[in-house]
Amino acid sequence: MEDAEIALMFCLLLIPAAIWLQVWVKGRRIKRQNEVGEEEFENTGRAFVSILLEGVAVIGGLLIIIVASGGVIKYILNFYM
């Protein structure tokens, strides 16, 4: 295989990982909700760590989606043009 096909395969494999990250963050947020629908934390430290961890996961997932879709688009443009 050439380098372009290998890059395409990695880009296609990254998209489900990015989607899984988004689903993981949503599941964590739903688990912390109380009866009213507000998020509850046991203490401030746990809230801070959770905010940082989920923030990095969301931003990282979105960056992975952007890079992976850019790789797929680049492959399509190079292959068909």
Query: What global pTM score does this model have?
Result: 0.79
The per-residue pLDDT for 1 is 56
Could you tell me the pLDDT band of residue 55, with boundaries at 50, 70 and 90?
A: very high
Extents of the domains making up the chain: 3-31+46-80
- pLDDT for residue 3 is more than 90: no
What percent of the chain shows pLDDT beyond 70? 99
- Which of these, 75, 15, 78, 25, lies nearest to 52 by C-alpha position? 25
pLDDT, position 17? 93
